[in-house]
Amino acid sequence: MPTNRVILIHGLHQAAFVMRPLAKRLQAQGFDTHQYGYRSMRDGIKTNSARLNDWLENHHHPDQPIDLVGHSLGGLIIRDFVTAYPQWQIGRCVTLGTPHMGSICADYIWRLIPAVVGRSYIDALDGTVAPLPKHIELGVIAGNRPYGLGQLFLHHHNRKLRKADVPPLKQQLDHDGTVYVEETKMEAAVDHIVMPVSHTGMLVNKEVAKQAFYFLEHGKFER
């Protein structure tokens, strides 16, 4: 049975309860889970990482390793947290639809209506999160089903790319309705997998949950 506690971290404009379906599936595999809630609009990434650290100091024994699973912006909080608070024993980390390279969709929104992304743009969605520490094992899950409000911006961006002198490869245009597959990639990750899910759909998808569980157990995705 797994001995690590899994901290699940939601994304922008969400709350802790959206991680419950994934938490229930991990619990069925024997994991002890906690759904960390934070204010994605009012507070920046540094504040939200600090509050996660405060919660752990008050509710978690430092000798017990923790795994971290984050959706979208939650994955960027994981990266900031493991860099800023190295005293914790980190097992493995999984990100779901996280724009590790920065979010083009968020860039558009920031320029048009900055209040929509709030304080989560600076040092996070703008692509400037700290590099991943070398000892952290990170698995990245991306989706390629383009459903969601963000697709309006990404379809516009794709049209701009197609009009460029050197058209990008088709896979560079793939996205989950909010985040491009290419934006989820980072060299420091141990493994990367693309699944037929949308940005929010991945939160309730059984196969995504299975892959997250598999990575936490084995340090790679199942193929």
Count of structural domains, the chain: 1
Distance separating alpha carbons of residues 192 and 34, to the nearest angstrom: 24
Structural domain contains residue 36? yes
Strands laid side by side in the 66-71 sheet: 32-36, 5-9, 66-71, 90-96, 137-143, 191-195
Structural domain contains residue 63? yes
CATH number at residue 40: 3.40.50.1820
The residue range of the domain holding 167 is: 5-218
pTM of the model: 0.90
Query: pLDDT class for 34, splitting at 50, 70, 90?
Result: very high
Task: Tell me, rounded to whole angstroms, the distance of Cα 222 from its chain centroid.
Answer: 19
Instruction: Supply the pLDDT for residue 147.
Output: 78
Which residues, in sequence order, are bridge partners of residue 63? none
Structural domain contains residue 23? yes
Using the predicted structure, report yes or no on whether residue 129 has a pLDDT greater than 60. Answer: yes
Structural domain contains residue 223? no
Q: Which of 115-129, 150-164, 181-195, 197-211 is the least confident region?
A: 150-164
63-77 pLDDT per residue, tens: 999 999 999 999 999
Cβ-based neighbours of 23, under 8 Å, separated by 6 or more: 6, 8, 33, 35
Q: Mean pLDDT across the stretch 155-165?
A: 62
Structural domain contains residue 112? yes
